[in-house]
A and B are shown apart, each in its own frame.
Chain A
Amino acid sequence: MPETFLLEVATPERLLVREQVREAQIPAARGYIGVLPEHAPLLAELGTGTLSYAVGERRSSIVVSGGFVEVQPDHVRVLAETAERPEEIDTERARQALRQAERELLMAPPGADIARALNKLRKAQERLAAAEKQKAQTGKRA
């Protein structure tokens, strides 16, 4: 049985990952799925969250939201609407986006698209958390 599979993560604007990985955790719309090599073919919508994967002993993560996941025995493709590496996220701006999302949800007039506002809030939380975790890690290393 192969030890690794090919993980590809792309947005319409760029390709973020094309690597042989050992294992990956992917935030599908209905909850996280863990993928190992030789996974059964699966199609799912991508949710909002932090995708993480392991190459050898190294673990990396990417904040993704919206899109599709295709799992095949030898490869996994994540077609995300947006995807960012934690080190690319500006903590200050992420915090502002979170406050903005909270305000929008609170002020939402009746009949507004609550699901959309909620999703925005989740994305902001996820981004901020990932950025802060990244900061703490690099801080420790320094």
Chain B
Amino acid sequence: MPSLIDIRRRIRSVRNTQQITKAMKMVSTARLRRAQERVLLARPYARMLSELVANVAAAAQSEELLAAHPLLVRRAEERVQLVFYTADRGLAGAFNSNLIKAAQQFLREREGVRVEIEAIGRKGRDFFRKRKAALSGEHLGLGNKALYADIVPVADRIIERYRSAEIDAVYLLYNEFKSILSQKLAVERVLPIELPKGRRFTEYIYEQPPVQMLERLLPQYVRVSFYHALLESTAAEHAARMTAMDAATSNAAELIDKLTLYLNRVRQASITREIIEVVSGAAALA
């Protein structure tokens, strides 16, 4: 039977852990709120840009050049770029492992295709580096501030590689933030660009010719997709960590209750034993 001191020590250690998980939960809650805000703030631009692209594309549709645009043209997918968004840190429940599973699934589906991985986030990079997969680049710490300016060079390099036909398609794999409890893995093809459906046809006065406008609009459209995925992934990460730490905190509370009960039972048993000893001792003397 364990001694009382051992049980007390055990309770204290669980309580310490509980304090840490509680603090981590609170930090994640605050970060999640900020990340959610950023997702909301970024929405108007993304919506307006996609409408603008649709409008310009509708206006330029008649012209043959649209089909031949280097960012719209489809090629057989022989070399594929996967942009893989994970967290930099663990302790977020199944967040990273779900993503890694999805990435492996992605690779399995493309047996025989050369897939290069651009890792955004430490966990994904570590996983694929250990397995000696083809990493085309790695970017750590982007999720901290989730600045647009940080993701632009990453997107631009990949756009350039696509333009020069080094790669035939670009997919983003990230965790989409639906709500705190539900998250969804998203695989999104960003290149070649799938033009958003036109709203209406407007006869614009163009300061620059439509071709030139598209030449600027299309890369911007891709950049914003990269940014959007970063924001979603960051929000989802904090939500996952918050849920995981909440579960850990209540598990710790449960464990403390159980240990306290056990402690009391052990203490009772030893008291009872002592009383029996005293009573039987007295009886023997009488």
Is chain B a partner of chain A in the same complex? Answer: yes
Interfacial chain A residues near B27, Cβ < 8 Å: none
Residues 46-70 of A contacting B (Cβ, < 8 Å): 67-68, 70
Q: Is the CB of A72 within 8 A of B213?
A: no
Chain B residues, CB < 8 A from A15 = 41, 44-45
**What residues on A are CB-neighbors of B55 within 8 Å?**
70
CB of A18 within 8 A of CB of B44, answer yes
| Contact A42:B216 (CB < 8 A) given known A13-B148, A15-B45, A79-B45 | no
Tell me which residues from 223 to 258 in chain B have a Cβ below 8 Å from any Cβ of chain A: 223-224, 227
Complex Cα distance, B202 from A112, in Å, reads 39
State whether B213 touches A41 (Cβ < 8 A). no
Against B, the Cβ 8 Å flags (1 = close, 0 = not) of A18-51 are: 1000000000111000000000111111000000
Assembly CA distance A130 to B41 (angstroms): 25
**A11 to B227 Cα, complex, angstroms:** 12
- A42 touching B44 in the complex, CB below 8 Å, given contacts A13-B38, A79-B49: no
Structural contact, B41 and A14, CB atoms closer than 8 A: yes
Question: How extensive is the interface on chain A, given as a class?
Answer: 20 to 34
B31-84 residues at the A interface, CB under 8 angstroms: 38, 41-42, 44-46, 48-49, 52, 55-56
Q: Tell me, yes or no, whether A10 is within 8 Å of chain B by CB.
A: yes
Nearest residue (CB) in B for A13 is B148
* Chain A residues within an 8 Å CB radius of B148: 11-13
Residue of B nearest to A31 (CB): B207
**A68 pairs with B44, CB closer than 8 A:** no
Q: What is the interface of chain B mostly: helix, strand, loop, or mixed?
A: helix
In Å, the complex CA distance between A79 and B45 comes to: 7
- Asked if A77 CB lies within 8 Å of chain B CBs, one says yes
**With the chains together, A30 CA to B213 CA distance in Å?**
14
Nearest residue, chain A, Cβ from B202: A41
Contact B45 A10 (CB under 8 A): yes
Count of chain A to chain B residue pairs whose CB atoms are closer than 8 Å in the complex: 75
Residue of A nearest to B46 (CB): A12
Interface contact A43-B48, CB-CB below 8 Å:
no
- Chain B nearest CB from A6 CB (Å) reads 12
- Nearest-neighbour CB distance to chain B for A82, whole angstroms, equals 9
CA distance A68 to B206 in the complex (A): 11
Quick check: A43 and B42 within 8 Å, CB to CB? Answer: no
CB distance from A78 to the nearest CB of B (A): 9
Bound form: Cα–Cα A65–B109 in Å = 43
Q: Give bound CA distance, A29 to B216, whole Å.
A: 13
Instruction: Check if B205 is an interface residue, CB within 8 A of chain A.
Output: yes
Contacts of B38 in A (CB 8 A): 13
Q: Are A45 and B48 in contact (CB under 8 A)?
A: no
- Across the interface, which residues of A come within 8 angstroms of B147, CB to CB? 13
Q: In the assembled complex, which residues on chain B have CB atoms less than 8 Å from the CB atom of A84?
A: none
A74 within 8 A of B: no
Q: Is B91 an interface residue (CB 8 A)?
A: no
B207 engages A30 (CB within 8 Å): yes
A10 to B148, CA, bound (A): 13
Cβ 8 A contact of B205, one of A13, A43, A45, A68: A43
Contact partners of B41 in chain A: CB under 8 A: 13-15
Query: Does A87 have its Cβ within 8 Å of any Cβ on chain B?
Result: no
**Contact indicator B204/A41 (Cβ below 8 Å):** yes
- Nearest Cβ in chain B — how far from A12, in angstroms? 4
Known contacts A12-B46, A40-B205, A43-B210; 5 further A-B pairs (Cβ under 8 A): A10-B48, A14-B45, A30-B207, A68-B217, A70-B55
7 shortest interchain CB distances as A-B pairs: A44-B207, A10-B45, A14-B41, A15-B44, A12-B148, A43-B204, A42-B205
